Amino acid sequence: MRAILVYGSVTTKTETVANLIKDELGDKLEKVVEVSEIQPEDVKEYDLLIAGIPTWDVGELEYAWQDFYDNMDGVDFSKLRIAIFGLGDQDAYADTYLDAMGILYDKFIQCGAKGGIGFVSTESHTYDESKAQRGEQFCGLALDEDNQSHMTEERVSEWCEQLIKEVWQSDEAVA
């Protein structure tokens, strides 16, 4: 199992979370890399991608992820399983909360990647609309360092345990 964590971060909050996840998963992760340093063609060779993305500019992808996204068309991600985490601000951006996580997740699925892992409940978040919402869950780990930073460590730790069960301890993770 070859796993890579790729993140984009403007004001370093997502980078800090990437490092927390790195600490939790240890040598299960082959590599942790900033998205500006990698191409879609290189990512498709892995079995698992953990992608970290904050939402910027009211509902938009973080800038380096936007460049990556623009180069995804035509790349076959069918070998890849995607787990995603997103950062946002549910108070200031309640109508576009974590939108980038949903947009990027959908793009990977469209390009052939398998998803359905690392989903979490929307329960402890208060917002109006989110492109990352799927029923009563988010399509990945939802974090809000602007308003709920006290919850981040526990959320990350629980999510890593969930991923270990869904990916490393199970042959049956949902496609």
Ligand X SMILES: Cc1cc2nc3c(=O)[nH]c(=O)nc-3n(C[C@H](O)[C@H](O)[C@H](O)COP(=O)(O)O)c2cc1C
Strands 133-134 and 3-7: unpaired
- The phi-psi region of residue 21 (left if phi > 0; otherwise alpha if psi is between -120 and 50; otherwise beta) is alpha
Assign 164 to helix, strand or coil: helix
Using the rule CB under 6 A, is 98 a contact of ligand X? yes
Binding to ligand X by residue 11, rule CB under 6 A?
Answer: yes
Under the criterion CB under 6 A, does residue 88 sit at the interface with ligand X? yes
The answer to the question of residue 69 lying near ligand X (CB under 6 A) is no
Element (H, E) at 54: strand 48-56
Burial of 117 (0-12, 13-18, 19+ CB in 10 A): buried
User: Under the criterion CB under 6 A, does residue 89 sit at the interface with ligand X?
Assistant: yes
Determine if 59 is a binding residue for ligand X (CB under 6 A): yes
Q: Please pick, from the candidates 93, 108, 138, 159, the single residue that binds ligand X as defined by CB under 6 A.
A: 93
Q: How far is the CB of 175 from ligand X (least distance, A)?
A: 28
CB of 15 to ligand X, least distance (A): 6
Q: Provide the binding-site residues for ligand X, judged by CB under 6 A.
A: 9-14, 54-59, 87-89, 93, 96-99, 145-146
